Amino acid sequence: MSILASLTPPEGLRVLVTAGAGGIGHAIARGFAETGARVHISDVDASAVEAVTDERITGSVANAADDAETEALFAEAVDSMGGLDVVIANAGVAGPTAGVGEISTAEWDQCLEINLRGAYLAARFGAPELVRSKGSFIALSSVAGRLPYAYRTPYAASKWGVVGLAKSLAAELGPEGVRSNAILPGIVKGPRIDKVISARAEQLGISFEEMREQYLAKVSLRRMVTPEDIAAMCLFLASPGGGNVSGQALSVCGNVETL
């Protein structure tokens, strides 16, 4: 196999992407489908799932933080595709923007449940299939999983936890031939970061544009990344060329220097 060919995932991979009906998740699903993979996505929004499914991308309605719904999701995916080669734990929420003393227990729990518990459940129900296929587990963390993030403590705590989960799985499942990595996106273009910027701007009493410029000033390349940038890293990790990459926290962020 040529080096160039090794950078493309083999055709026919069986891929599950949680929260795959929009944003980063949908870009990942589309990217794998373009390589000839069969992709099964989940989302909590039934209409969103229906809108993006086709002959290559099938879907289920499931809450990534719910045990029973996630177990059913994996059963449906395995039943329809005959197994799994790649599991991508992508589900996540931004959580509150506030000082730690102003964040309620309910807000903290919701953020940790979806971001960290959701990744754990994907690993729990995906691991047996990945052991059979000697596959790849990819968890979406954040640059907030390697840097301190004031006023976003639940989000940062959950994303540091996702890195720990992915690294620990690499050690646990590596002897079975399973690779496990975390991807750490930076500031990703889209409505989610716009809401975060708006909330922080309101808190500081400045304009959205001023706040946006402050965010980009912390990025060496002075630009946001796109969902397609994250999808490209997922494709590499599932390709033969990424076959010896495991236990890593891989930033795709334009080099975010601080948060």
pLDDT tens digits, residue range 61-93?
A: 999 999 999 999 999 999 999 999 999 999 999
Cα separation, 56 vs 35, in Å, equals 10
Give the position of tokens 């309620």. 104
**What percent of the chain lies above the pLDDT cut of 70?**
100
pLDDT per residue over 167-177, tens digit each? 999 999 999 99
Cα separation, 68 vs 71, in Å, equals 5
The stretch 174-185 carries a mean pLDDT of 98
**Confidence tier at 226 by pLDDT (50, 70, 90):** very high
Cβ-based neighbour number of residue 119 at 10 Å: 30
pLDDT per residue over 7-39, tens digit each? 999 999 999 999 999 999 999 999 999 999 999
Question: Can you give the pLDDT at residue 200?
Answer: 86
Contacts of residue 220, defined as CB under 8 A and 6 or more positions apart, other chains included, come to 254, 255, 256, 257
Domains of the chain: 5-186+226-252 (3.40.50.720), 190-224 (no CATH)
Question: Can you give the pLDDT at residue 199?
Answer: 86
Residues in the chain: 259
Mean pLDDT rounded to a whole number for the chain: 97
Question: Can you give the pLDDT at residue 53?
Answer: 93
155: annotated active-site residue:
yes
Question: Can you give the pLDDT at residue 125?
Answer: 98
Question: Can you give the pLDDT at residue 143?
Answer: 98
Q: Which of 53, 33, 34 is nearest to 43 (CA)?
A: 53
The stretch 125-131 carries a mean pLDDT of 98
Indicate yes or no: pTM above 0.85. yes
DSSP 153-200: HHHHHHHHHHHHHHHHHHHHHGGGT-EEEEEEE-SB-SHHHHHHHHHH
Catalytic residue among 120, 149, 151, 155: 155
CB 138, CB 183: distance < 8 Å: yes
